[in-house]
Copies of this chain bind each other. A is one copy, B any other.
Amino acid sequence: MKKYNVGIIGYSWAAGAHIEAINQTSLAQVTAICSSRNLNSKEISAKHGGTIKCYTDLAEMLADPELHIISICSYPAEHAEQAIMAAKAGKHLIIEKPVALSWEDCLAVQSAVESAGVRTCVCFECRFSSQLETTKAIIDKGLLGKIHYGEVDYYHGVGPWYGQFRWNIKKEAAGSSLLSAGCHALDALLFLMGNDVESVHSLATYSANEDFAKYEYPTTSVSVLKFDGGRIGKVSSVIDCLQPYYFHIHLIGSEGSLLDNKFYSTQMGGLNKNKWSELSMKMLDSGDVSDHPYQKQFETFFQAIDENKEMPLTSLTDALHTHEVLFAADQSAEQNG
């Protein structure tokens, strides 16, 4: 047996990815699942390995002292309440994004976590991807100098062909284009440019395509952000496009630029300024959660718990910076609507 036992809330698409990733880490395994559906423990255990106890009552699962960590993979609207319950039960928390559907609920989660003194990891797992790790290294090596303009955008058509489309189209379930998916782009922008956002201005709109007409909220939005010192950022969140998945990053700095997997830098000898150099890395080119770097994120989280220190990069504190800007953006879009 590995050191930590994890209980999952919700038995969704994301949950499947969490279970597989958690079981592949060196420190933890999934031993409990709580779902509104009546799951068969035997079947579930056989499917995922180990022994997994299945619950329909969350309080019951949280009462198990052998469970050290709770991973929340339920519908977004349930995240906050469940996170607060689990924190109060003294469990460390993995929370699928978003943390909550309102800023008030986010603050409530934060408060519960602080009171309970538990560790947290919010699934902005893209920060652990090859693409963002390399991009961050390029910046940290000084190859781009000081960045004064940055764009990170999310283009991914989430139509009827997607499993979560069923509930993702509801406003009370998914919230907004940014909340339901584009938050990864906004989070990446803050990761790369800093959290010191001074203002945000957003616009949002709809596609004329019939498939996307089922959405109860605008499926495309664009936000421009002003950072401390006058630096500028921009995030588009487009879940109603018909094209290849595209996680677009363009950073303009005083010593060079980075565009997706390409860069130019004055700091690398005699590079050709008129033709991009190319970095070989695994791009964020899929919306499929099974392609996402969950395992690396969870391994890091379990190590942090083990060493009794704060989760790097994606703690609740990190994630709330992103959520605060996100809710401000959605509010701006509504006002400008």
- Where the two chains meet, the residues of A that have a C-beta atom closer than 8 Å to any C-beta of B are 129-131, 133-138, 141, 145-146, 148-149, 151, 155, 199, 201, 203-209, 212, 220, 222, 224, 226, 230-232, 234, 236, 238, 240-246, 252-257, 259, 264-282, 336-337
Choose one: B203, B212, B234, B255; the contact of A226 (CB below 8 Å).
B203
Whether A275 contacts B244 by the Cβ 8 Å rule is yes
Could you write out 27 A-B pairs with CB less than 8 Å apart? A131-B270, A134-B268, A134-B271, A137-B268, A137-B270, A141-B141, A145-B209, A148-B206, A149-B222, A205-B230, A205-B231, A205-B232, A207-B254, A208-B253, A209-B255, A234-B236, A242-B256, A242-B265, A243-B256, A243-B257, A244-B264, A270-B281, A270-B282, A271-B279, A277-B278, A277-B280, A278-B278
What CA separation (Å) do A204 and B234 show in the bound complex? Answer: 12
Whether A134 contacts B270 by the Cβ 8 Å rule is yes
Query: Taking the full assembly, how many copies of this chain does it contain?
Result: 6
Which 8 A-B pairs give the minimum distances between C-beta atoms? Answer: A137-B269, A130-B270, A134-B269, A243-B257, A133-B269, A133-B270, A209-B254, A208-B254
Which of chain B's residues has its CB closest to A293's CB?
B270
What CA separation (Å) do A204 and B270 show in the bound complex? Answer: 31
Whether B272 contacts A336 by the Cβ 8 Å rule is no
What CA separation (Å) do A304 and B155 show in the bound complex? Answer: 37
Whether B224 contacts A243 by the Cβ 8 Å rule is no
